[in-house]
């Protein structure tokens, strides 16, 4: 009977100690994921989209998070811009997965600036804005267009006489 009690005590102690050991381990390999993400970003900047896609898939298998799914979707999106409809569909699926993981995800934090158009380069037709064309610190607001010189015939010409102002209210008699 004592041996059974001692055995049960040892089992309970091991069961209580096990979570303490498990707390030191990470659930996902975040270091490997971060390494794969950086590798994928470099590959994107070199326009090696298939290799970048593999790197982002490795990051997702190591530690699935919204950033990895976004970057994978972005790589498929860039690849799909050449007309590959399958890549465009995959991009949509991965972008949807991003918002399933984190509905408040903001892709502006994770842009890959090397893939975007370089400053001073010609933007795509129809997407030029004054801010995208002007060099940094040189953005000027164009002057307003001058008013038409003549008034339309349907409106009377403004008179040179001043407009009368309403009279101030009269004082109320005291009661």
Q: Which domains does the chain have, with CATH numbers?
A: 30-109 (1.25.40.10)
54-84 tens-digit pLDDT:
999 999 999 999 999 999 999 999 999 888 8
Would you state the pLDDT for residue 82? 83
> How long a stretch of residues is the chain?
175
Are 119 and 138 contacting, i.e. CB atoms less than 8 angstroms apart? no
- Per-residue pLDDT of the chain (175 residues), as tens digits, is 666 655 555 556 555 555 544 445 668 888 999 999 999 999 999 999 999 999 999 999 999 999 999 999 999 999 998 888 999 999 999 999 998 999 888 876 655 544 544 444 454 544 444 444 444 454 455 566 666 666 555 555 666 666 777 777 777 767 6
Would you state the pLDDT for residue 129? 47
Would you state the pLDDT for residue 128? 45
SS3 content of the chain, % helix, strand, coil (to 5): 50, 0, 50
Q: Please name which of 101, 110, 115, 93 lies closest in space to residue 34, comparing C-alpha atoms.
A: 110
Q: Which residue has the tokens 């490795």?
A: 58
Distance between first and last Cα of the chain: 107
Would you state the pLDDT for residue 132? 46
């Amino acid at each position: 009977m004592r041996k059974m009690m001692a055995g049960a005590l040892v089992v309970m102690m091991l069961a209580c100690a096990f979570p303490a050991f498990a707390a030191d381990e990470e659930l996902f390999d975040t270091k490997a994921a971060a390494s794969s993400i950086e590798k994928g970003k470099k590959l994107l900047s070199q326009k090696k989209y298939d290799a970048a896609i593999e790197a982002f898939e490795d990051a997702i298998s190591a530690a699935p998070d919204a950033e990895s799914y976004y970057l994978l979707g972005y790589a498929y999106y860039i690849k799909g811009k050449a007309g590959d409809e399958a890549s465009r569909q995959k991009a949509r699926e991965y972008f949807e997965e991003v918002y399933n993981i984190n509905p408040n995800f903001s892709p502006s934090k994770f842009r890959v600036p090397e893939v975007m158009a370089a400053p001073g380069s010609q933007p795509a037709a129809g997407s030029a804005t004054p801010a995208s064309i002007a060099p940094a610190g040189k953005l000027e607001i164009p002057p307003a267009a001058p008013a038409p010189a003549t008034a339309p015939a349907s409106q009377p010409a403004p008179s040179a006489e001043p407009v009368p102002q309403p009279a101030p209210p009269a004082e109320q008699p005291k009661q």
